[in-house]
Amino acid sequence: REMERALSQAVTRDELRLFYQPRYSLHSGKMDGAEALLRWQPSPPALVMPDSFIPLAEETGLIIPISDWVLQRACRDALSWPDRFYVSVNISPVEFCRGDLAGRIATILQVTGLPAERLELEITENVTLERPEKALLIMQRLKVLGVRLTVDDFGSGYASLGYLKAFPFDGLKMDRSYMKDFPHSQQAHSIVNGIIGLGKAFSLVITAEGIENAEQFAELRAIACDEGQGYYLGRPMPAVDFMRLLETAE
């Protein structure tokens, strides 16, 4: 297919871009990192969003070279941020159990020089479903490297809660759908509060995603959610804009 051919040349033609969305500590109220979000720019001004090419990349195996590019770019970019900042990268569940993810990441950390604890990998709970033994082994190897592992889109997949105990996760990102009627609806409030309590019971760092207004931000701080992300705090932006934001924020 036409799109497959174009995507296969995206890396060599230097058409991939990383956007960064700020992440905030809800304890200090200060920025402490960013999530890397991939875009494809086959020709300016066109900017293709990941939902329209990641599935094709997964089907064709192109996800591996693309992800290598993402990891390298993200680690390099993070080196010019403050030392206490970390960068989180989304890892496709298809890629997770294929090939040697831990080996690839070890190489990328070595080549770029980013300390492992500044890299966080976001994986959806579905990776724990298909081949749990293989997934556990890979996660254990990643933990030995020192990278952080978080459950992305928590509460939107099909896994039962047992995996939180069985797999070595460091954090949990609440799916942004939980922010929908939060904090005004009593039910939405109870559910979010419950997820925070649940996460703490498993000693996980809890991140709220999709924070879109000041009330949500204030209430999440009041109920001791650890980290936050969302349009209210900052939209995904090109790396240069994120650098500029850091200069004005520091």
User: Where does this chain bind Mn ion (CB under 5 A)?
Assistant: 90, 122, 152
Exposed, middle or buried, 72 (CB in 10 Å: 0-12/13-18/19+)? middle
Give the residue with the Cβ less far from ligand G, 152 or 163: 152
Helix (H, G, I), strand (E, B) or coil at 76: helix
Interaction mask 117-156, ligand G, x per CB under 6 A: -----------------------------------xx---
Quote the least distance from Cβ 199 to ligand G, whole Å. Answer: 16
**Cα separation, 38 vs 41, whole angstroms:** 10
Contact in structure between 241 and 37 (CB atoms under 8 Å):
no
Residue 48 partner contact from Mn ion, Na ion, ligand G, none using kind-dependent CB cut-offs of 5 to 8 Å: none
In the region spanning residues 161 to 180, those forming contacts with ligand G, defined by CB under 6 A, are 176
Closest CA to 124 of 87, 79, 170, 156: 156
In the region spanning residues 147 to 186, those forming contacts with Na ion, defined by CB under 5 A, are 152-153, 173
**Cα separation, 61 vs 76, whole angstroms:** 24
The DSSP output letter for 52 is G
**Cα separation, 136 vs 163, whole angstroms:** 10
Using CB under 6 A, pick the residue from 15, 64, 90, 159 that binds ligand G.
90
Which residues of this chain interact with ligand G, rule CB under 6 A? Answer: 21, 37-38, 49-51, 54, 70, 90, 92, 152-153, 176, 209-212, 230-231, 236
Which residues of this chain interact with Na ion, rule CB under 5 A? Answer: 152-153, 173, 209
